[in-house]
Structure 1
Amino acid sequence: MDSPIDSADDLAKQTKIEYGAVRDGSTMTFFKKSKISTYEKMWAFMSSRKNTALVKNNREGIQRVLTTDYALLMESTSIEYISQRNCNLTQIGGLIDSKGYGVGTPIGSPYRDKVTIAILQLQEEGKLHMMKEKWWRGNGCPEEDSKEASALGVENIGGIFIVLAAGLVLSVFVAIGEFIYKSRKNLDIEEDHTDQRANKTD
Structure 2
Amino acid sequence: MNFSVYWEHADAVSKTLYFVLLAMSIATWTVLVLRLLGTRQLKQIAYAQLSKALTGLKAKFAPLNFEQRKAVAEQALLRQIATEKASAEKGVAVLGTIASLAPFVGLFGTVWGIFHALVAVGKSGQAGLAQVATPVGEALIMTGFGLAVAIPAVIAYNICTRFNKTLSNELQDHAHSLLIDTMLQQDSAAKTEATAAQKGLVGGQA
Q: Which has the higher helix share?
A: 2
TM-score for the superposition, normalised by structure 2: 0.31
Which has the larger Rg?
Answer: 1
TM-score for the superposition, normalised by structure 1: 0.31
